[in-house]
Structure 1
Amino acid sequence: MALGGAGTAGPGRGPGPEARPSWIDGPISVLLVEDDDADAFLVSELLADADVEADLRADLHRARSVDEALGVLSMVAVDCLLLDLGLPDAEGLGALRRIIEGIEVLPVQPAVVVLTGNTAHDLGASAVANGADDYLVKGDVDGDGLARCLRYATLRRRSAAQQIALYRSEVRAAETTRLERALLPKELVTDEKVSVMVGYLPGGNGLLGGDFFDTVERPDGTLVTVIGDVAGHGPDEAALGAAMRTAWRTLVLADTPADDVLPLLERVLLAERGRPEVFVTICQVVIAPDRRRMDVYLAGHLPPLLVVPRTSPEAAVLVTHHCEELSSARRGRALGIPVDGGWSAHTVELPEVWTAVLYTDGLVEAAVGADPKGTPILPPSAHGRMPRLGAHGLRSVVEREMDQGTDEVVTRVLRRVRELHGGPLVDDAALLFVGWAGAGATGPAERTSTLADSVEWSRA
């Protein structure tokens, strides 16, 4: 017997023996589905010749029927399947269709090369049209031709699998980006003297989180801003975070009293969450129209920071910034936690010039045992654990970056925390700066947003 020859190339056949590719490292696993013992012996001989003549090493497995072949495929990883179209339990294209249906459920699908005795090639061409990668005509091939056919069928199948995986990866990346953009909305603030700078840094595991934030100015000039964190990571949490942000914005735009926003938002959470253990922490800040007072609502969330500039008493020239953590005395429970208790505001009197910094716990939980050069910053704990940045460390980072100016300050803070951590953060981090430069400020305030998903950030 011979099997499909150099002179009877099937569709997509590669170059002749003078251009033997060597792009497959190591042996390939071949499953021969053939009920005739004599034909099976000749295939094994041709593959042995191929090892010498064409440098193709093959691990040969055999099945005598389609049912037996499907059983082998469920237990053995196969690179290429040689299928005779005349078997005891299936013949012709029916055998091929059963094989194709069987390999569609496998995590890695093997290439399929059919064996046909039809020298007019019509059955082989029909097999390729029905899902086979190539075909061989019995009675017309040597070991080198068989090796070339198996090699190119395997390479084409691997290439197709890589293209499918790449397409799916691109689709997932596009879906991820759309979800992340939903968490990075355009603020609705008409007061040009109010600065709004936001940033979102996904964690190092590559999964989306549920961090969200938003800022809205009401018709009377009241400024309402929020930052929140859905417990967990992944598309479900990201979608829930986007839904919570949208619900929050809707409530604020509908002029819902500030005291009623969090209770209503919890009702949305209970209806939208997929699991009863999911909860959300939130910090909501309501800033008076005159920008001299703000009410802070905490639902299990970290209190914001307040940054105030310090000036030289002699020349009234800005020299440094002072950053302090606001009180968490009136912090209530997180949304979705089934315990008693509500949420009340803590009122903070504001100076002439100020910046409020809202953030999620991904920043303060960053481990900061050494700087990028390996120099220790803080010693490990008694248990050998690396210390966390904490609110105190974040205050220092914010003060340092604010002293260098407000241009891209959110990006600089995120980068600095990432550098101190020594790489991508474990948890997602959201950061929101809302500032007021004083009633006498001239020119529009800064409005920036940073979604740190670029190639530059992944290399940093």
Structure 2
Amino acid sequence: MPVPVPRQRDIPGTESGPGAMSSLTLLVIEDDPAGGLTVPEILDADGHRIRLRSARNLTEAARLLTPDVNCVLLDLSLPHGPGAGTGSGDAADPFAALRQVLRIAPRHAVLVLTSEDDAERAAEAVRVGAQDFLFRDELDGRLLSRAIRYAVERKRADIAQYKLAESKLRAQENARLERGLLPHPLLEGSDLRFAARYRPGRSRALLGGDFYDTVRTPDGTVHAMIGDVCGHGPDEAALGVELRIAWRALTLAGLCGDDLLATLQEVLEVERPCEEIFATLCTVDIAPDGRRAGLCLAGHPAPLISRPGRPARLLPYENSGPALGLLPRARWPRRQVELGGTWSLMLYTDGLIEGRIGQGKERLGQDGMVEMINRHLADGLSGEGLLEASVTEARRLNGGELTDDVAVVLLSRAEG
């Protein structure tokens, strides 16, 4: 059935300019080439332009559906059986043409046109997915313009609502994924307290190339590790997870020190995407009595230790070995460290110390980090509060988000 030409108003056309509303483009899909909206332009009651395009079937409509089209007006009486251009061939579905339009124009507003005595079918078309319906006998320029603008705004609102719901769902899924990828410390039976902070450097990333873990073996030894895969992409993040899992498995299997790091280097060499990738690592094994530890460094910054009544300081880092993946058959000496009765041991990645200070090129560095930690300790901070304050201050000194990944682990023991 032909779509009638809306009657024209005696309103002069608007001039284009900053104050003029943007014109609308309407794609009309109806199968009567002689009786439809075939004039090149219609003016609504306010003089705003409605540019028209006409398609006789859905095949032609798909070709005319360019990004400048604001809205689609579909005649519900358009044939939808075989040969009608819908591509569905389903004559039993009265909304086959509409469903096809919604498939080919998922981001466009869609109006349907029908007769006034077919109101129930028009309402069902809205439930199928159209933004609104129009009755053929009531159509004029003002009504058409208003309906188009309403449909376009409603479609935008629908898309925004969908994106919001999708974003919330993605955030929930990301949180679950992140919880699954980040380690759960295995410290049952230990008197050590554990705290950690992790912040990936890549925007909107779940994980970066930094990784850490802590486990207690059956003999009572607590093993802690922190590492950093060079680079910031998803491949480096995946490699970090692989190294963490491998470290936990090897540690629980009884490996420690040089044997453990040599095996991890073999894992890295097999799993890394290219030969230029390497990883730094720091491992600590704390004796069951909690008073001493073994320390191995593979190109990684030395941990920081704090004790009551004494300023925090870095543990000795002489004779450390190279980063994993740099030298074949490398060795990593294990150094014995006396901890004492009450202490806190902080392991960290270089993302914490490489942030800039103010607008210049000077970086926080290890000395600046030690000074910062001592200030927070003097303020009575410990555990989670100490880590949160330290990462927050590093960001503030940097003038914004730190570009590198940051991981910090704190193990503490109170004697008595």
TM-score (norm 2): 0.78
Match for 2:369 among 394, 400, 405?
394
- SS at structure 2 position matched to 1:30: strand
| Contact in 1 for aligned 2:25/2:53 (Cα 8 Å) | no
Unaligned runs of 5+ in 1: 5-24, 310-317, 371-379, 381-385, 443-460
- Which position in structure 2 is the counterpart of 1:187? 185
- Which position in structure 2 is the counterpart of 1:90? 85
- Which position in structure 2 is the counterpart of 1:445? none
| Contact in 1 for aligned 2:353/2:369 (Cα 8 Å) | yes
- SS at structure 2 position matched to 1:260: helix
Query: What is the alpha-carbon distance in structure 1 between the residues aligned to residue 40 and residue 73 of structure 2?
Result: 10
Match for 1:322 among 307, 312, 315?
312
C-alpha displacement of 1:399: 2.0
Work out the percentage of aligned pairs sharing the same amino acid.
37
- SS at structure 2 position matched to 1:146: helix
- Which position in structure 2 is the counterpart of 1:448? none
Query: What is the alpha-carbon distance in structure 2 between the residues aligned to residue 3 and residue 422 of structure 1?
Result: 62
In the TM superposition, 1:12-411 aligns within 5 A as 27-33=23-29, 36=33, 39-41=36-38, 44-45=41-42, 48-52=43-47, 57=48, 60-65=51-56, 66-73=58-65, 75-84=66-75, 86=78, 90=85, 93-104=95-106, 109-116=107-114, 119-121=117-119, 124-125=122-123, 127-128=125-126, 130-182=128-180, 184-190=182-188, 193-203=191-201, 205-208=203-206, 209-233=208-232, 237-238=236-237, 240-269=239-268, 279-309=278-308, 318=309, 320-324=310-314, 326-327=316-317, 329-334=319-324, 337=325, 339-352=327-340, 353-369=342-358, 380=360, 386-407=361-382, 408-411=385-388
Query: What is the alpha-carbon distance in structure 2 between the residues aligned to residue 328 and residue 167 of structure 1?
Result: 53
Query: What is the alpha-carbon distance in structure 2 between the residues aligned to residue 97 and residue 49 of structure 1?
Result: 29
Query: What is the alpha-carbon distance in structure 2 between the residues aligned to residue 434 and residue 96 of structure 1?
Result: 63
In the TM superposition, 1:397-436 aligns within 5 A as 397-407=372-382, 408-436=385-413
Query: What is the alpha-carbon distance in structure 2 between the residues aligned to residue 338 and residue 331 of structure 1?
Result: 10
Unaligned runs of 5+ in 2: 7-20, 87-93
Query: What is the alpha-carbon distance in structure 2 between the residues aligned to residue 173 and residue 231 of structure 1?
Result: 27
TM-score (norm 1): 0.71
Q: 2:410 is matched by which residue type in structure 1? A: F
| Contact in 1 for aligned 2:213/2:226 (Cα 8 Å) | yes
C-alpha displacement of 1:68: 4.0
Query: What is the alpha-carbon distance in structure 2 between the residues aligned to residue 83 and residue 328 of structure 1?
Result: 78
- Which position in structure 2 is the counterpart of 1:11? none
Give the number of aligned pairs.
384
What is the RMSD of the two structures over their aligned residues, measured on CA atoms? Answer: 3.5
Query: What is the alpha-carbon distance in structure 2 between the residues aligned to residue 263 and residue 296 of structure 1?
Result: 15
- SS at structure 1 position matched to 2:194: strand
Q: 1:71 is matched by which residue type in structure 2? A: R
- Which position in structure 1 is the counterpart of 2:14? none
Instruction: Decide whether aligned partners of structure 1 residues 278 and 31 sit closer, same or farther in structure 2, where only a CA change above 3 A counts.
Output: farther
